[in-house]
Amino acid sequence: MMMCDNMNDNFFKNITPKIMIVLIAFVLMFSIPSESTANFVIGGGTGSGGSASDFSAPFFVDNSITIDQNILVEDVQNIPVTAFSGKPVEFIVLASDNTGAENITHLDLFLNHDGDKVLNNLKETYVSFSYDELFIQNPYDIIESATLDTVIIGDNKEFIFNVVFAENFDSSNVLIRSWDLFGNGSTLYLPNSLKVIDAVQNEIISPISDPEVIDTVKDVNEDISDEIILSENPLDELKSVLPFSIMIGNADGTVIPYDITGGMVTAAVINLDDNSIILSLDAFDDGTLIVSPSKSTQDGIFMVLIDGEQANDVEIDGNDVTVSFPAGTDTIEVIGTFVIPEFGTIAMMILIISIVSVIAISSKSRLSLRV
């Protein structure tokens, strides 16, 4: 009897560890989720998650940001954008990620920033997108208010911040930081890209109560009005000083002044075959584009095409072009009899100097041989 008990004890001692190992393996196998069924919730929507071994950070399309329709590009000497305190300033950032734009979980826009590094302290001013929520850190009270909108455009995610500044500041850096669901981060640094000044206030003239002064002013106004010739076209004054400009991508730093409603100009290139300038648009609504290239850039403008079709609602006055376009327009092409060569002014000067130098050296060599 004692021998039987000993055999039972030995049996249970040998089998118990094996049973435990099998149970632990069984639990572990069912506790690890399959990669094909992993889902991640981003900003209220469901998207397919990437591999946990993903190390690719989000990237900024064209390494650029748009501030009040002015495109600023990293590693390029940009002209600082001047904004006004008390008025909304629009910042547009277009970003993407290899696992899908919906997996971009954070994007920070640092303003009035000093340097090209994020300090991660409470002294930095920024507005932030975090899981579809807006967060503002405003230690110096330079921001009065801010709003945020996001839109998925194809493989990209567009972040639209509208910021109202309460205080002015001199030309400062703008720094953008973004990271995805897996913690991969990237930054975009634009030095000396933004300054905020006081909005121009209209002077208020106190009313005049003296009747004699009123009569005198009335007579002067009548005399002046007889000599004033009002412009028949009110757009003439608008075209003379257009608020925006865009650099022609293949013309060595040449810029075109423009104004636009209902969209934004994203790029401009020269088409030598047709002596034209092609402007790429992001037209979110029906709008109007006014462009005024210098005569050294383009001359003899006689036609405008919208997405390859001749525009009907267009006004051409010398080099001032006003064209109405429908929502969804991709390109507007301004055609003339002359357009600046792609080679560019600086490159052409270098070529001419090189040719002259070669001729001079050749002539000198011939003279030396004759002597």
Q: What is the pLDDT of residues 35-79, one digit of tens each?
A: 333 332 222 333 333 445 577 899 999 999 999 999 999 988 888
If you average pLDDT over every residue of the chain, what do you get? 76
> Does this model's pTM top 0.75?
no
Average pLDDT (294-317) is: 93
Contacts of 196 (CB under 8 A, 6+ apart): 82, 83, 84, 85, 89, 142, 165, 167, 168, 169
Q: How many CB atoms lie within 10 A of CB 206?
A: 5
Please give the distance of CA 48 from its chain centroid, rounded to a whole number. Answer: 28
**Highest mean pLDDT out of 112-116, 138-142, 344-348:** 138-142
- Give φ, ψ of 264 to 5 degrees: -145, 145
Residue with the bigger pLDDT between 223 and 247: it is: 247
Residue 120: name the closest of 58, 179, 43 by CA: 179
* % of residues, the chain, pLDDT over 70: 65
pLDDT for the residue numbered 137? 93
The CA distance from 291 to 312, in Å, is: 17
Residue 27 has pLDDT above 90, yes or no: no
Q: Domains, the chain, ranges and CATH?
A: 59-197 (2.60.40.10), 242-345 (2.60.220)
Residue 181: name the closest of 103, 97, 98 by CA: 103
* % of residues, the chain, pLDDT over 90: 44
Average pLDDT (269-286) is: 91
Helix (H, G, I), strand (E, B) or coil at 211: helix
186 — pLDDT class (breaks 50, 70, 90):
very high
HSE toward the beta carbon, residue 288, CA cutoff 13 A: 9
Rg (CA), the chain: 33
